[in-house]
Amino acid sequence: MIRASSDLLPQHGWSMRQSPQLERRQLDSEALLERIVSACASNVAAFDETGAILYVSRAWLVFAEQNGFTSVKDAYGLYHLQTCQDSAASRAIEGASLKESVQRIIDGRHAEIHEEYVFNGPTTTKWFLMRAARIDMRGGFRALVTLQDITRRRKAEEELRNIGGRLINAQEEERSRLARELHDDLSQRLALLAIGIEQLGQKVPESQSGLRSCVQHLWTQTNELCSDIHTLSYQLHPFKLDHLGLSAAIKSLCEELSGHQGLKIRFQQKGFPAELPEDVTLCVFRIAQESLHNVVKHSGARDAQVTVTRTAGAVRLRISDEGCGFDIEFAKTKKRLGLISMKERLRLVGGEISIHSQPAKGTQIDVLVPVVVKGHEPE
């Protein structure tokens, strides 16, 4: 075990006025802690009240040496720790470094901290789970820090997320292909069939009323099938989304559901027309589609409200109803595929979703997707 030089030790922590017995107890405690740290196979370090590292495990020192910090000063100082940046989305101190987190322990603002950090070394990137805690000792305290290498886990999680994104993109490509085939091929052939049946009906003599009625029935069924194919094609891929944009596509969706499902949907748009990235447009539309289908299928509501808003730096979607609602915590345990799909789509475009619902009190879904526009920052 390599120990810090005497000039790094806190001078105020070792008063000459201490009794020999008390000083011996302090030294015994310090020696015991040093032996514990020395025996650890993971990255462990002990800090004094000033923030200087007193002693470290061999694994800590090896990691510092492997990443270019070979001098004693670098090995014991916080120089390499300053390159560890907070990678979590929400922290008390945004973008806090590992050094700042240790300082919060030393200052007494926190008794214990668990945070994840990314280390961007000269040749590699590693993720660490940092745990820090204050250890009270006679005459003072020590801050004990452990760094657990979670690089393999984080890479596996990232790969799983990437697979999820690729699956969604592949699904959308297949949906688009099927929609085109239904619209351009099958739908056109059915339309020609309906015309042929209509012309056949015109040639049937009026005296053969039974045959004319049968032909009319076939014509009606063919037209209904044409309408169903058109609806299915639109559900697979809304071509209005490509040609008219997000607001018009969601408005058309609301009108379609209002006409066929007995649900009155009040649609409102703000800030459109505006050009949006294709992935953002498709993401917001799919979430609106999934949410409204859930309203129809599960809520029992007769009315719903849909608002889509375009601001300088974001797209916002709100869908609300006064239906039966549901227990959000219980729904999370069920891991519904619809909610998982929404979150995965939003992750791909950097968006977020919040759901507010209670049994018998309706549901409100809020979606925010940042959109970078030249001269503006995302809200």
* More confident site: 20 or 281: 281
Task: Give me the half-sphere count of Cα atoms (radius 13 Å) on the Cβ side of residue 254.
Answer: 22
Contact 139, 22 (CB under 8 A): yes
Residue 97 has pLDDT above 50, yes or no: yes
pLDDT at 6: 35
Q: What is the β-pairing status of strands 314-321 and 363-370?
A: antiparallel
End-to-end alpha-carbon separation of the chain, Å? Answer: 50
Q: Which residues contact 178 (CB under 8 A, 6 or more apart)?
A: 233, 236, 237
Residue type, 306: V
72-86, 124-138, 257-271, 308-322: which range is least confident on average? Answer: 72-86
Distance CA 67, CA 48 (A): 24
| Mean pLDDT on 82-91 | 46
Selection from 220, 303, 292 nearest residue 256 by Cα: 292
Q: What would the two tokens of residue 16 be?
A: 């000459």
| Mean pLDDT on 210-236 | 88
* Percentage of the chain exceeding pLDDT 70: 80
| Mean pLDDT on 20-34 | 67
Selection from 42, 151, 147 nearest residue 102 by Cα: 147
| Mean pLDDT on 299-326 | 91
Helix (H) or strand (E) holding 14: none
pLDDT at 364: 94
Residue 72 has pLDDT above 80, yes or no: no
* More confident site: 242 or 93: 242
Q: Compute the mean pLDDT over every residue in the chain, rounded to the nearest whole number.
A: 78
Q: CATH homologous superfamily of domain 245-379?
A: Histidine kinase-like ATPase, C-terminal domain (3.30.565.10)
Neighbours of 56 (CB within 10 A): 26
pLDDT at 319: 95
Contact 226, 288 (CB under 8 A): no
pLDDT at 94: 34
* More confident site: 214 or 137: 214
Q: What would the two tokens of residue 348 be?
A: 């791909």
Number of residues that make up the chain = 379
Residue type, 261: Q
pLDDT at 168: 79
Q: Tens digits of per-residue pLDDT, 362-371?
A: 999 999 999 8
Selection from 303, 333, 336, 334 nearest residue 321 by Cα: 303
Selection from 38, 39, 47, 63 nearest residue 102 by Cα: 47
pTM of the predicted protein model:
0.57
CA angle (87 as vertex; 66, 367 as ends), nearest 5: 155
Residue 376 has pLDDT above 60, yes or no: no
* Percentage of the chain exceeding pLDDT 90: 18
Q: What would the two tokens of residue 128 be?
A: 């660490």
Decide: residue 337, CB within 10 A, 0-12 exposed, 13-18 middle, 19+ buried.
exposed
User: The domain 6-149: what is its CATH number?
Assistant: 3.30.450.20
| Mean pLDDT on 207-224 | 90
Residue 372 has pLDDT above 80, yes or no: no
Q: What would the two tokens of residue 203 be?
A: 């040639």
Distance CA 276, CA 327 (A): 34
Residue type, 127: W
Q: Tens digits of per-residue pLDDT, 129-185?
A: 888 888 887 777 888 888 888 888 888 877 777 777 778 778 878 888 888 888 788
Contact 4, 61 (CB under 8 A): no
Residue 285 has pLDDT above 60, yes or no: yes
Q: Tens digits of per-residue pLDDT, 316-355?
A: 999 999 889 888 777 767 666 678 888 888 988 889 999 9
pLDDT at 78: 42
Q: What would the two tokens of residue 321 be?
A: 């109803």
Instruction: State how far Cα 66 lies from the chain centre.
Output: 34
How large is the angle between the packed helices 337-349 and 151-181, nearest 10 degrees?
100
Task: Give me the half-sphere count of Cα atoms (radius 13 Å) on the Cβ side of residue 120.
Answer: 6
| Mean pLDDT on 17-22 | 52
How large is the angle between the packed helices 278-294 and 337-349, nearest 10 degrees?
160
**CA-based radius of gyration for the chain:** 33
In eight-state DSSP terms, residue 114 is: E
